[in-house]
Structure 1
Amino acid sequence: MTSYTGNIRKMQVSANSDNLAQYVLPVGQDKIQMNALIGQTISMQYTGQIHCVHCATLTKKSFNQGYCYRCLTKLAQCDTCIIKPELCHYDAGTCREPKWGEANCLSDHFVYLANTGTIKVGITRHVTDGVSSRWIDQGATQAIAIMRVQNRLTSGLVETAFKSFIADKTNWRTMLKSAPEQTDLAALKESLLEQVENDLDEIIEEYGFQAIEITDSPAIDIHYPVQQYPEKVKSINLDKDGEFSGTLLGIKGQYLMLDGDRVINMRKYSGYELAVTTA
């Protein structure tokens, strides 16, 4: 039996050479290799303390998955435009943190399609070795990059165009219940590009030909360490229940799947101090 205590962060994700998602849970200064715990008993107890993931201040309530209220209202990474990139206001000179905006918003982004139980459109800043950590965070079993765009604002404008024809949200309950049927994402990509052609032409007319570059990246499959999917999802609430214990049956997205059809979104509890025991 091994025990850890500390403030947690969302699970760090990557993919191995077979595109199997790999998970590491930071707990204080420790990092727990979660894939190795599939099939084993895991227990977590909330100590009642939350520290802001940015400034480490003790806070009674967590906002935006780990921030204190002051950081929520001050940080650019907590602004509305992070959720709605089409509202990026850096060029208007009103960015909360211009240097942060330059580093994170004024760089290339990718617009993509992903199969998370239903097909969705989304944006990501990084696609490393063909796989984006965002795809794993969302529990996507398939994904394909549609295009590279010059900045976050442009990515939001393109995503908005696609949203007229396809969803931009993940249904987390659907994502957790089973592995979805395969979809021909390459064919869907071409069909959608035809549907949004006029919108893309308008974006290019305003921002230039360099604003959008259609990619020829193939669709990829992503696999997850899951022994058994829940039949009826029952969400664990640490704020209400305080603790849980059970057999870890799988990990997908940022969710742990346990016996009894129970699941917990670890990202939701970023900044929470937990006592974690593995056996």
Structure 2
Amino acid sequence: MQINGLLHGLVHQYQGKDQPVDYYMQIEQDKLSLNELLGQQVTISYLGQKNCIECGRKTNKTFNNGYCYPCFTTLPVNDLCIVKPHECHFEQGTCRDSSFGETHCMIPHYVYLALSSDVKVGLTRKHNELKRWVDQGAIRAIPIAELPTRRMAGELEYHLSQFMPDKTNWRKMLKGDVREVDLLALREEVYGLFPEPFKAFQYREEEWIEITYPILESLDKITSLSLDKLETIEGKLLGVKAQYLILDNGVFHAKKHAGYQIRVTA
């Protein structure tokens, strides 16, 4: 089996807590099933060219996981407020694209607790939470608040990040080095940290979401594999988690290589 083309990253489908996530590597319009390749030798070769995943422009360097510099500096998906949602400036009239703001930011968002390396707080658009949690490698997650806009969710997340992490330790996440946590009990503690204006937006689920990943075995030592250093990456596929392929000789972050022209052979 061999596929050539522009890498966009990994896409996935949640199958329920008792079934591993279905993972696919998206190359151009093709979706290569990674679950079917578990245990097989996989080769990823860089073909020497990068193209923007948005406009297709040839570029020497990609930004923010696959964009050329013009798209990085003009598209709303690449604005600083995407990673700092509490600084959303839609209502100030300075959004890069007001239609994007209407459909992505001025809509309900969840603030959640997720267990990946440790418990972290995060936010995501409502109905996008499973994609977000899987992309972060969470094994357990639960929404704790529903806010009407991205900015409000960002303000609550920013406040809670003073008391708990808002980032994932990717090495611990890939090793499966995760402490046991009762998210329902922790949620009640976190509610005590809510500022008064946000208490009305508390959101209560009866149970958390469990996520299982297609992993045959984990690595004791995590070595990052990059096509910027190696023209060819080869190894036995042991598993997939978050946006990482876990090979027997290291891990390959697919989304960081979005925009690379590659050949995958298995």
> Within the alignment, does 1:84 sit opposite 2:73 as a pair?
no
Letter in 1 for 2:40: Q
Q: What is the Cα deviation at residue 20 of structure 1?
A: 2.1
Distance in 1 between the 2:48 and 2:256 partners?
15
Q: Residue by residue, what CA displacement relative to the aligned partner does 1:27-47 show, whole Å, maximum 9, x if unpaired?
A: 122110111111011101011
**1:184-263 alignment to 2 at 5 Å?**
184-196=182-194, 199=195, 201-203=196-198, 212-260=201-249, 262-263=250-251
Distance 1:252 1:118 in 2: 16
| Partner SS for 1:238 | coil
Where structure 2 has 5 or more consecutive residues not aligned to the other structure, the ranges are: none
Tell me what 1:267 maps to: 255
Residue in 1 aligned with 2:132? 134
**RMSD over aligned Cα atoms:** 1.4
In the alignment, structure 1 segments of 5+ residues that lack a partner are: none
CA shift, 1:132, in A, is 1.1
> One-letter code of the match for 2:80?
T
> For 2:94 and 2:221, how far apart are their aligned partners in 1?
45
Structure ranking higher in helix proportion:
1
Deviations 1:213-252 (A, max 9, x none): 4233421211111111111101001011111111000111
1:114 and 2:83 correspond: no
Question: What TM-score do the two structures reach when normalised by structure 1?
Answer: 0.91
- Paired with 1:116 and 1:19, the residues of 2 have a C-alpha distance of 18
For 1:68-107, what aligned pairs fall within 5 Å after superposition? Answer: 68-107=68-107
- How many corresponding residue pairs? 265
Q: Give the Cα separation in 2 of the matches to 1:217 and 1:27.
A: 39
Shift of 1:125: 1.0
Between the aligned partners of 2:142 and 2:180, the Cα distance in structure 1 is 13
1:15 aligns to 2:2 (yes or no): no
Q: TM-score, normalised by structure 2?
A: 0.96
Structure 2: how far apart are the matches of 1:120 and 1:213? 17
Residue 150 (structure 2) aligns with:
152
Q: What is the aligned-residue identity percentage?
A: 38
In the alignment, is the contact (CA less than 8 A) between 1:62 and 1:68 conserved in 2? yes
